[in-house]
Structure formats: structure tokens, C-alpha cells
């Protein structure tokens, strides 16, 4: 693991690191905020998954999480959103595919399948690396994210309810099988057989029996992607008749940007802290 940068913030450490990934067959970069409490003891860890076109840096620079994370004693890990490098397949004119658009799934179709294994990277390889190098309590893990990352967080939580104790999302893509900005990527990554897509769709996972105790979702009503890509009411409908709890908060005037995310970041960190102990 290479140290790219380390800076003191709110008594803790904000670092950026890189390593050679077996899952994605390229060098991957990720950010970690370590609160001051971790000097003396293992602390809960929160995984933040970013959205389309983002890297690890977007939330690190604009998410405004460090003050509250330091107060609550939370370690925050921010992976990249896709493989990177000159040899990694991409669609240069399509921001919904390729680099910056890994969708947090393990692809099965060529040419993507050699590198685009973000589900394995986020759930297996990166946690093992973080556990080795940082003072994290792996028995207290939460996961959250934005947009494509909200989709990733919710599907990963639903598929790993024994690992994660909390999950929340900002403007998540809850039903990528029907969202206009993910169907093309799903077909190219996973093939034309739509039943395969259900493994990476929060609504479909619930319909197929997956369960998680509860979710917090914040969504801006002025989000230009709300009606065609996000549609949180579909998840609300999917969980009817289950024991899954949902706090869905719709906010007037807020859009899809990090101005929205940073406004409600403290609420999400407190939500996770209450559940992680």
C-alpha cells in the first residue's frame, strides 16, 4: 500500500492511498479518514460509495464529513468508483459506462470482465486491506453512498446483512433495471439476460427475499434525475409487506449535487453511529 497523502483534520488523519488490486487488475486509489479515537482503540468503519463520474476525491473534498466523523469516532473509507489505467476498457464519450461507472457489480461480459469487478473489490479485497492497516472494528461496519453509490450500498447491504449493521443513501438508484441511465451499462456488463441483473438491483433483491433491518434515504425534490433514474417510491413499494424499515425524506429545492449531500451528511453519520454503537 502506497501513501499518496496524509493531512491532519479535526484531530484525526485524512489520507489517500493506492495499491495493486487483484480484483480489478490495476492500481486502485482510496481515501480513509481516521478519527482521533482510533489512536487508542478500534473504531467502527463506514464505507462511502460515490456516484457516476466520481473518484474517491469527490466526497473527500466536498462531503464535509470529517468534523462529525471525528466527534463520533467513525472511520470513513472512500473507494474509487471503477478500475483505472490506460489498459482498462472504457467508453470515452459515454459517462454512464466504463471508468467512473463501475456500478459496484462484478461484470461477466467482455471486454469488461477482466477489470470491472467492483463488487468483489469493495466487499472483499479492500476491506481486507483496510483491516490490515487501520485500527478498525470489523464487527461494526456500516455502508452508505450517493446515486450509483447509493445503489451499491443498498444492494451490498441486502446481500450481506450479517456483515453490515447500518445502511443509508443519498438519492440512490433503487431500481437500475428500469432506470434510463443504468440499463445500457447493465446489458453491456452483465449480458442481455435480465434475470442476471436482479442480483444488483435493490428492488429486485427485496422481491427475491433479501432482507436488511432498515434504511435511511434522503432525496432532493429538485433532483433532475428523480423521475427517470432514481424513483425512491419504487423501493418504498418493494418493501411493503416485509419487515424492512425505511426512513425516506424528500427535501424541497435540493438537487443531486454535493451541496445536497453535505447538508445532510451529519444526519447520516449520526444514524450510523447510533446503530454501530
Do 128 and 178 form a contact (C-beta atoms < 8 A)?
Answer: no
Dist. CA 207–CA 199, nearest whole Å: 11
Domain of residue 180: give its range.
2-276
| CA count, 13 A, side-chain hemisphere, 180 | 7
Average pLDDT rounded to a whole number, residues 88-101: 96
- Per-residue model confidence (pLDDT) at position 255: 98
Do 197 and 103 form a contact (C-beta atoms < 8 A)?
Answer: no
Which residues does the annotation mark as catalytic?
147, 223, 256
Q: Is the pLDDT of residue 181 over 90?
A: no
Residue 15's beta-bridge partner residues?
6, 32
- Per-residue model confidence (pLDDT) at position 234: 98
Q: Residue 19's domain is classified under what CATH number?
A: 3.40.50.1820
Do 156 and 144 form a contact (C-beta atoms < 8 A)?
Answer: no
pLDDT bin (cut points 50, 70, 90) of residue 16 is: very high
Q: Is the pLDDT of residue 199 over 90?
A: yes
Q: Is the pLDDT of residue 227 over 90?
A: yes
- Per-residue model confidence (pLDDT) at position 120: 98
Average pLDDT rounded to a whole number, residues 58-68: 98
Q: Is the pLDDT of residue 88 over 90?
A: yes
Q: Is the pLDDT of residue 246 over 90?
A: yes
pLDDT bin (cut points 50, 70, 90) of residue 175 is: very high
Cell of 121: 473489490
- Per-residue model confidence (pLDDT) at position 258: 98
Average pLDDT rounded to a whole number, residues 73-80: 98
pLDDT bin (cut points 50, 70, 90) of residue 273 is: very high
- Per-residue model confidence (pLDDT) at position 141: 98
With b meaning 16 or more CB within 10 Å and e meaning fewer, what string describes 60-77?
Answer: beebebbebbbbbbbbbb
User: What secondary structure letter does DSSP report for 202?
Assistant: H
- For the chain, give the percent of residues with pLDDT over 70: 100
Domains: count for the chain = 1
pTM: 0.97
Q: Is the pLDDT of residue 226 over 90?
A: yes
User: What secondary structure letter does DSSP report for 121?
Assistant: I
Average pLDDT rounded to a whole number, residues 108-132: 98
Average pLDDT rounded to a whole number, residues 28-55: 98
Average pLDDT of the residues of the chain: 97
Amino acid at each position: 500500500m502506497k501513501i499518496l497523502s496524509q493531512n491532519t483534520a479535526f484531530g484525526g488523519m485524512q489520507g489517500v492511498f493506492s495499491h495493486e488490486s487483484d480484483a480489478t487488475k490495476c492500481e486502485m486509489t482510496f481515501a480513509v479518514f481516521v478519527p482521533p479515537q482510533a489512536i487508542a482503540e478500534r473504531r467502527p468503519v463506514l464505507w462511502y460509495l460515490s456516484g457516476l463520474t466520481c473518484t474517491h476525491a469527490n466526497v473527500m473534498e466536498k462531503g464535509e464529513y470529517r468534523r462529525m466523523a471525528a466527534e463520533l469516532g467513525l472511520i470513513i473509507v472512500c473507494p474509487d468508483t471503477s478500475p483505472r489505467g490506460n489498459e482498462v476498457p472504457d467508453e470515452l464519450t459515454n459517462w454512464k459506462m466504463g471508468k467512473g461507472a463501475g456500478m459496484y457489480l462484478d461484470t461477466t461480459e467482455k471486454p469488461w470482465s477482466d477489470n470491472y469487478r467492483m463488487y468483489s473489490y469493495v466487499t472483499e479485497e479492500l476491506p481486507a486491506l483496510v483491516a490490515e492497516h487501520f485500527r478498525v472494528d470489523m464487527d461494526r461496519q456500516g455502508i452508505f453512498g450517493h446515486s450509483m453509490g447509493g445503489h451499491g450500498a443498498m444492494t451490498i447491504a441486502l446481500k450481506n446483512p450479517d456483515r453490515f449493521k447500518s445502511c443509508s443513501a443519498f438519492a440512490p438508484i433503487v431500481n437500475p433495471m428500469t432506470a434510463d441511465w443504468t440499463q445500457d451499462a447493465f446489458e453491456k456488463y452483465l449480458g442481455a439476460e435480465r434475470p442476471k441483473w436482479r442480483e444488483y438491483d435493490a428492488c429486485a433483491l427485496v422481491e427475491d427475499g433479501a432482507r436488511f433491518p432498515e434504511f435511511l434515504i434522503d432525496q432532493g425534490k429538485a433532483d433532475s434525475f428523480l423521475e427517470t433514474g432514481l424513483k425512491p417510491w419504487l423501493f418504498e413499494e418493494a418493501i411493503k409487506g416485509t419487515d424492512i424499515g425505511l426512513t425516506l425524506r424528500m427535501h424541497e429545492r435540493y438537487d443531486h449535487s454535493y451541496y445536497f449531500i453535505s447538508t445532510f451528511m451529519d444526519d447520516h453519520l449520526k444514524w450510523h453511529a447510533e446503530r454501530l454503537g
